[in-house]
Structures are given as C-alpha cells and as structure tokens.
Structure 1
C-alpha cells in the first residue's frame, strides 16, 4: 500500500499511496500510442487529485523538460488516486494510462494474469539495469525471470508519524518520540486529554488500509499473516498472537483511554488529511508520506515528526513495500519504448546520475516542493547516500525532525507484505478493525477466526 498506500494503502504507503489515472478517450489507445502529428502519445500518472498548484507546476515543468529532450513523445499527464477497491476495474476496463503505478504486492498476480506488458527488453536498455537491488527488482519480475514492472519509487519501511505541536500541547518533548507501544499509548492519552476532539493516535480502517495497517501492527509484535510451505502450500495465519495483541491494544485505546478521536473510517488519503489538519497526533504509514501531505494536504513542515515503528518481541519486524511502474499488456512496442524513457527520466535516473539528480532537485526547488524525504534505497545504501550528497544543497525537508527514523532506517528488520491474495485479505480484515473501533464488546478471537477461514478459502482457490 501507499504509502499507497498505501496497500500502499498505502499503501501505501505507503507505502504505499499511489497516484494512478483514468485515461481520457479519443487520443489513441494504449495499444497504439499514435497521435495525429506522428508523435508517440504517452499517458502517465501525475499527482493526486487536489494537489497544490505549486506541485502541479513542478510536475508540468518536468514534462516540458522531458518533451524537449524527446521531441517524438507527447506526454499526457493525468491524475487519479489509487485505491485497491477500484484499481482492478480500472485495469480490466483499459482505463489506466500507459505508465501506471502499482504496489509491490500486486505485481505477481498481474504478471500471472497477463495484465502487464513484458518490459524486459526495454528495461535492459537502462545503463544501470544491473545495479538494482535484486530483492527490489524481483518484486516486478515474473517466474520466467523477465522484468514486467520497474521499481519506481517509495521503497519504504513503515514509520510512526507524529505532530510535534500536539506533543508540546500535552507537555511532551517532540524531540523524544515514543519508542514502545506502551509509550505510544501514554502519549496518545495525554494528547487526547489536552486536546478534546483530537485523536492522540489513530489507525486506518477502510478501503483495504485497515488490513494493511493491522498487518503492520501484527508484524511489529512478531506476528505473521501467512505461512508458505516448501511445496508452495499457503496457510492463512491471521489469528496469531501478534495480531491479537495489536487489536487488544487498539481496543484499550478506544474504550478505556478514549484516545482515538471520533472518526473511525479513515483510509490512506483521509488520515493524511486529518493529520495535516491537526486532528490526528500519531499514525503509522510509509516513511515517504510526508511528500504527499505537503503537496496535497498543505502540511506545515514545522509540526511534522517521524520516528521508527516500535517493535516488541521476538521476530518483530517493520513492514516494507514500494511502488512499481507498469505498462498495460496490450501496449505497442512504440509505447513501451517511450514508457521506459519516461520511467528512466522521471523515476530512476535521478537516483544514480548526478546531473539528473541535480536537475530534478532544481525543478522541484523552483516550486518549493519537498526534496529529500526519507525512503529506502532501490539500489544500495552507498548509492542512496551518494544521491543525498548530490542534492544536499536542495534538501528542504525537516530531516532534523525525522532522526528517530533516519538514524535507524538501514538497521530496521524489514518484512515484506504477504504475497498471496494480499488485497483480498486486507479487505477481509477491514471489518475486523472497524468492529474493534465501534463495538466495545467485539470478540477479537471470533472475528479473527472467521477472517482466517475466509482467507484460507481464497488461498485454496488460487
């Protein structure tokens, strides 16, 4: 999710949140990419609906720069917010652009279903193709070893985002964020007591983000949601100690501490909005979500803080994810060739090429867009640190307010999202989270057992 989300929810997240688009009719379909003037028309993801004008201006400036360097390609930017509940219909209906974004978790199923174009030949035209982190590249690769979706951005580990101003309002030191779940609970209650109507802590609960963030909370307590045997048999393990503990913790915050506010139907986009508006003091999402909140929700950088996710118990881990760039399966060779040039320009070259990195930073800086938001490296730590040196003069995010995360980000015990029926199972878990938040007598064991049975049915039908 992204941070989509995200899953991506968030998510992304999320992350992944992911910005996708529905393409408009009458400009040449994804199967031909032609236009009246002989150029290749390429529809690409732009920004989330409602983004600030400065962010739109910065994106358009990048499009102009690309088109100047590639006069045979006409880029058509379109905006759309990725949601797990609508993405499948968009893809099946052929209404996504020529370059769209997907979370790591979705790629394998899309490849198996023949819904992504084989981009292997185009991918290997990139001079740095062999430098990608193999674990990251594998997310978009098929069983045949070919690349179908290219790692693009937002490779994240989930972090704890917090509002420094709300910390101060409750007498808490924003430079000393919580490091345990007990401290998160303590801080949340103090903030909620000092700020009536504000959620000291809140968790996403709908559009598959409830399941995504419950998985985050379970992993952080040593839980795992699936087991895959050597013979490939997949067993659902939603009803594990980590998940039970996470839901019990959430139930106590809701019904004993009354520290979760009053809105119990939030997803990736709406919790970002609530956080930026000072209605939520702490929440978990992908480490990269700061950028979206500045661009779309007018977040005040002065109030933002980011720290590492609290971990508790053996095998505790931080859920990680990211965003891949894909192309529809029916895309022509001309569109695929244009697509890899856009992916190189917009997503990846700036991570490994100093000239491209500086040019990208200069374009973003001209419109005061976020530069330097913490993400995990798609190549390696050394390349990430080199990239940060290249753009050091342009970094404008408050990194000194994110040290609780950045000081630990390369040592986090990362765990990928479970890979079988991911979105469907996240959807099964949404009502479980909602029940705990809205029903004081919710039976956590019964809810998880029922969800486990339904999840196993989905897995057995694969």
Structure 2
C-alpha cells in the first residue's frame, strides 16, 4: 500500500474539489462598520470559530486561554469567539445572511464552488507569508485553491481517514474482546448482534442518516467495499454510478442488520452531532466517522475515555478504499485587508504553527492538558509523514488520549488506501442519499435496487447541470 503522504497526493488532488452548496450572494460578517475591521480604538475585531455548541466548560476554558495568549502577543487584535458547527443544511443561508464569523470552517468538498461563486475572500497574499506555506501537501492546498491559482481557503485541521469507533465496555458486556475489534463487515455484523442481544435498547451498530450524513456515510461504506459513486472523465464530465455493487452491498448489509438481526437500535435519524451524543451515552456500540472525532466526544459529549476504542475501517474488494476529508479555514468575500491580516495571524497561531514549530506545539499542548483537553488524537499528516512524527515527538510528554485503545487504526494509518470524497455536486448528492438510507432502516420492504436507480437518475440530473 501507499504511504499516507503518497496516497493523499495521488487520490485527493482531483477528488477534494467541487462542493454542492447552491449559489447565493456573497456573505458578510455583520454590519458594514464591523466589516471594516477597526473597533474604534485602533484594534481589529476578529470573530472566529470557537467550539461546538454545548461544549464542556474545560474545553471553553482551554479555548479562552489560547485567545488570551494570542491577544497578549497581538495587542492590536481583539478576538471574539463564536460557537459554530458546520451543517450542509444551514451553512448556505448563514453565509448569505452574513451571520458567520469572520473566520469560519468548511469541509474540503465545499471550497471550489464557494470560490467560483465569489463567496470567499482571496487569502493568497496572506497565505504566502506563512513560513511553511510551501511545505503543505500540494493536494491539500489544492482543495482551497481557485482556478486563478490563488488560495482562498487554508487547510486548518483534521485531515482524517474514516475509522470504526466502538465502545469497549459494550464489547465486554457481550463477551467480546475489546482489544480485537472487528476487521471485516461480517464481523461487525456479528458483534453488533451480540451486543444488541446482551444490551436491550442499545444499537450494536448504527449509521448516520440525515443532514447529508446518510449520503456521506453510505459513500464511506461504498468505498470500503470497492465501489465508487461517480466517475469523472478527462473533460470534467461526471457520471453517477450509485447503482454500483459496493453501494448495493452496503445497503443490503444495513437492511439485514435492521430487519433480520434487530441490532441497530430504534433511533434511525442520527446525524454527526446526535450520533456522537448517542455513542458517548452508551446507546450506540459502533459507528463509522472521521478518525479525529474523539476530540469532539471529549469536548462536547464528555465521553468516558476508558470505554473508547478506534479500529481500522474494514476493507473488502479489489479497489477498496478509506474515505478521507478535512477542514479549511475561510473568510467571507467582503472582509477588508485589516481583517485578512489579523485572520492569517490567528490561523497561524491557533491551527497551524503547532504542527511545524516545536515551541508552539509544546505551548499549545501545555494549555490543553492544563484544561483536561485531548492531546494526540490520531489525524493524518497535513504536511508529510515525517513532519507528523516529528510533531508527535515534540508533544510526547503531553499526549493524554488512550492511544493503546486505538492501535487497530494507528498501526495502519500511514498505509491507508485513501480516496477523496466525490468531486462534483457532493453535498447535494449526499442529500439525495439520506432518504435512501432512511428507507432501508424504516421499511422492511424497501427495494434497494429501485431506490438506487431513482437516486442515480436524480444525481445524474444534478451532474448534468455542470
């Protein structure tokens, strides 16, 4: 298999590209006075993404400590934190309505269309001032680069490969070895039934199904079985391939677990946030999501770390792959230069310098540990495998996540056959697939072939719009 660095370069360059958010007017960030940057006393006021709504107080304290450190070093900038959670169903109206922070976060898939629509600020000049600007993996930079070659969205955090998250305590309750998590989809099914039988009301396994996450995770399961949901020709024309064998197998597998095994619990309308909540509460024993989700489980859901496990995603088929993605930092198109200059300092301080500078890495880790926050959650390299390993050496004394409960994933993370998300009409097609997943989970007589044929027709119509 390829190394993570090689795999990202080969598979993401053309894949982490075009979003599907509907075109809307360029968004702002508050009033015209606020957009001008100055708050009246010579300071630049910068609204930034802080944490997810409902985060634990310790996480809030850690973030506030980082803000204080930044403001002490940059007395001309006033940071105003705002809670934020990206959702496909709410992001577009937030951007159009000017209610987003000055610095907000978007997934890799969404930057290209936002740039084409003129909705993101050109940050190229500011980005080039970063001393490590030329060290990024080129494929990752490409995700936020416009057709003019300028950088509009800067890689910020959480380049992930999807893994299998599981509850070690629920494994033990069913007589399963938590140090030997499932390695195949058949083993996942078997474990899910044993757990559900031993724990009435608990979902042995569950899959997200709404707010576009149903389509996202069905794509994860498709890739893991060797299928692909679209093909893009050299001329850029895309063909929907939702009727592929991998997608059919994934849905039939879910259907069997739901109606034959009764191992999926009773809540069939979960998205990313509510799935994390259910998992942390012990209501779900296994689910698939990005490898980085442990941090959110601690910050927002107070997960019992002793019960957490992370395993490699089961892969089957000749072309099986692990879906990968990540997060970009961006700004509304109408922000002025003073806010751009302030933003690049914040992005450098909060997101990136800690990955390439030992002093910043240690300082960040010290702050997080002092506030009982996770340090060392597995993510994929944003620069190179070597730089990632160097960073881990710098913070080795501060790592406090249960890595010994994640070895099934971490032992293979540099050899994952990574595949970027579908490159065209991504979120819109994910939305088409939500009801397909929901139908399989709620209708015993759901016709998988018919559902996929209809979704494929609708997806192709979207792709033909260009």
> TM-score scaled by structure 2?
0.93
Unaligned runs of 5+ in 1: 1-21
SS at match of 1:384: helix
Asked whether the equivalents of residues 28 and 333 of structure 2 are also in contact (C-alpha less than 8 Å), the reply is no
**In 2, distance between residues paired with 1:373 and 1:259?**
29
**In 2, distance between residues paired with 1:359 and 1:23?**
33
SS at match of 2:414: coil
Q: State whether structure 2 residue 431 is matched by structure 1 residue 427.
A: yes
**How far off is 1:25 after superposition?**
5.2
- The residue that corresponds to 1:448 in the other structure is 452
Count of equivalent residues: 440
- The residue that corresponds to 2:367 in the other structure is 363
Asked whether the equivalents of residues 23 and 78 of structure 1 are also in contact (C-alpha less than 8 Å), the reply is no
> TM-score scaled by structure 1?
0.94
**In 2, distance between residues paired with 1:120 and 1:26?**
25
Q: State whether structure 2 residue 337 is matched by structure 1 residue 339.
A: no
Backbone CA RMSD of aligned residues: 1.2
Q: 1:154 aligns with which of 158, 169, 180?
A: 158
Q: State whether structure 2 residue 47 is matched by structure 1 residue 37.
A: no
Asked whether the equivalents of residues 159 and 309 of structure 1 are also in contact (C-alpha less than 8 Å), the reply is yes
Q: 1:230 aligns with which of 227, 234, 238?
A: 234
**In 2, distance between residues paired with 1:394 and 1:357?**
10
Unaligned runs of 5+ in 2: 1-26
**How far off is 1:28 after superposition?**
4.0
Q: 2:290 aligns with which of 278, 286, 291?
A: 286
Whose relative contact order is higher, 1 or 2, with alpha carbons under 8 Å and at least 6 apart? 2
- The residue that corresponds to 1:89 in the other structure is 93
Asked whether the equivalents of residues 184 and 315 of structure 2 are also in contact (C-alpha less than 8 Å), the reply is yes
Q: State whether structure 2 residue 61 is matched by structure 1 residue 53.
A: no
- The residue that corresponds to 1:418 in the other structure is 422
**In 1, distance between residues paired with 2:357 and 2:332?**
28
Alignment map for 1:73-152 (pairs within 5 Å): 73-152=77-156
Call closer, same or farther: CA 1:395–1:456 in 2, change over 3 Å: same
CA distances 1:240-284 after superposition (whole Å, capped 9, x unpaired): 100000000000000000000000000000000000000000000
SS at match of 1:43: strand
SS at match of 1:77: strand
- The residue that corresponds to 2:255 in the other structure is 251
- The residue that corresponds to 2:176 in the other structure is 172
Q: State whether structure 2 residue 265 is matched by structure 1 residue 261.
A: yes
SS at match of 1:393: helix
**In 1, distance between residues paired with 2:344 and 2:31?**
23
Asked whether the equivalents of residues 121 and 334 of structure 2 are also in contact (C-alpha less than 8 Å), the reply is yes
**In 2, distance between residues paired with 1:114 and 1:311?**
39
